Structure 1
Amino acid sequence: MGSEHEKAAVDTATVEVEGIPFPQEIAGAKTLSLVGHGVTDIEIHFLQIKFNAIGVYLDEGGIMEHLQSWKGKDQLQVEDDAFFSALVSAPVEKVLRVVVIKEIKGSQYGVQLESSVRDRLVAADRYDDDEEEALEKVAEFFQSKYFRPGSVVTFHFPATATAAEISFATEGKDEAKVAVENAAVAEMIQRWYLGGASAVSQTTVRSLADHFTALLSSP
């Protein structure tokens, strides 16, 4: 599944995020549109260090049917938990494309993902042996990877499945994949990136809020 989304764009139009081109549309089961983008970063001694560029793709027609209760809202806010929960739970195909800007060990990324997702599961009282096993499998997948600049991590969330697939592609290596077969873990990975005020990339969720405000306020 991941390799299909890494093939070619539906058209040649792109949006640049920190100099990295993201196609405005990619081919999934349907055509998926770029609906939000941003970066993960951290400020150290007044310097902004940018780690990854992010593109969020989904079935825009399908999601709009799911978000009708927000129709006509003046401005969606990053703090609007109900909206971002609806975005995560919407039964539409979604793809998150994460492109590395600053190189790090894959194990560092895996530990951050594992810790953040576990915290969300514990807070929701949904962390048990099955979730622990699924999360450890994801962390192990990243353990041996090296995130060179330009490497791509793709998260694919099918419309009807309660699971996900993660792929990793870097120059000179075959694409690697791992399946996330636990619904709660797959959901919390989505929330890590799309979870509004608690998301790992505030620029991405701000972009999503602005994009959907424009769509939902139009006649």
Structure 2
Amino acid sequence: MNAGERGMEIEGKFIKFTAIGVYLEESAIPWLAGKWNGKTANELMDSVEFFREIVTGPFEKFTQVTMILPLTGKQYSEKVSENCSAYWKAIGIYSDAEAKAIEKFLEVFKDESFPPGASILFTQSPLGSLTISFSKDGVIPEVGHSVIENVPLSGAVLESIIGKQGVSPAARRSVAERLSELLKASDGSAH
């Protein structure tokens, strides 16, 4: 449904590392429509509350992070973990459970490497589990590699991508633009 990239400026040049796709279960549209129908893409883009509702909404989310440049699992997971921990500390919810979830997250990635074209796949269930899968050949695996049962981690991974301080403003903009279109096309039923 939505795409963006993540990169950084190196010596005055923007270097893209990953391409990111964010997909929401169909039930997200009627759930979001009651409050957000009729809003422009720019209004949605600027709304922290809108993206919090996407992250916490009672529908499945799927995120595909595809490598443009090679990256090790350790590099990727350390950066994501750092972003998640900073977010939790900022909102005052960092606990032993989150520390353990971060340990599991780092463990899942420690021996992985991602050449260009390889993908990391995150599925967030409405119940709070985070399923992590890997694809080296463009095929989405039927069974996840690992499942981490931690509601804050599940949400923080997506928040770290599309949230206000997320690593991919392009993915955030794409989500806002596409959902603005889909909400306008919906019947506007409330949640």
TM-fit CA distance, 1:157? 1.2
Distance (Å, rounded) in 2 between the aligned partners of 1:185 and 1:150: 25
Aligned 8 A contact 1:107 1:144 in 2:
yes
Distance (Å, rounded) in 1 between the aligned partners of 2:175 and 2:40: 14
Q: Deviations over 1:48-104 (max 9, x none)?
A: 2111111111223x1122212111123434231011011111111111011111002
TM-fit CA distance, 1:110? 0.9
| Residue of structure 2 in register with 1:64 after alignment | 29
Indicate whether 1:169 and 2:169 are aligned.
Answer: no
TM-score by length of 1: 0.76
Moved more, 130-139 or 77-86: 77-86
Provide the secondary structure at the position in 2 that maps to 1:126.
coil
**Higher relative contact order at CA 8 Å, sep ≥6: structure 1 or structure 2?**
2
Ranges in structure 2 where 5+ consecutive residues have no aligned partner: none
Provide the secondary structure at the position in 1 that maps to 2:93.
coil
| Residue of structure 1 in register with 2:93 after alignment | 126
Over aligned residues, Cα RMSD in angstroms?
1.7
Aligned 8 A contact 1:93 1:158 in 2:
yes
Higher strand share: 1
Indicate whether 1:204 and 2:171 are aligned.
Answer: yes
| Residue of structure 1 in register with 2:17 after alignment | 51
| Residue of structure 2 in register with 1:141 after alignment | 108
Indicate whether 1:87 and 2:17 are aligned.
Answer: no
Distance (Å, rounded) in 2 between the aligned partners of 1:59 and 1:186: 16
Aligned 8 A contact 1:74 1:217 in 2:
no
Q: Which amino acid aligns with 1:131?
A: E
| Residue of structure 2 in register with 1:17 after alignment | none
* Residue-pair matches, total: 179
Q: Which amino acid aligns with 1:112?
A: K
Aligned 8 A contact 2:124 2:155 in 1:
no
Ranges in structure 1 where 5+ consecutive residues have no aligned partner: 1-33
Aligned 8 A contact 1:121 1:185 in 2:
no
Distance (Å, rounded) in 1 between the aligned partners of 2:170 and 2:54: 17
Higher helix share: 2
Indicate whether 1:181 and 2:146 are aligned.
Answer: no
Distance (Å, rounded) in 2 between the aligned partners of 1:180 and 1:193: 18
Provide the secondary structure at the position in 2 that maps to 1:198.
coil
Aligned 8 A contact 2:162 2:169 in 1:
no
TM-score by length of 2: 0.87
Provide the secondary structure at the position in 2 that maps to 1:48.
strand
Q: Which amino acid aligns with 2:152?
A: A
Runs of 4+, deviation exceeding 3 Å: none
Counterparts of 1:97-112 in structure 2, within 5 Å, are 97-112=64-79
Distance (Å, rounded) in 1 between the aligned partners of 2:7 and 2:94: 28
Q: Deviations over 1:93-135 (max 9, x none)?
A: 1110111110022111111011000011111111111110111
Aligned 8 A contact 2:123 2:130 in 1:
yes
TM-fit CA distance, 1:191? 0.7
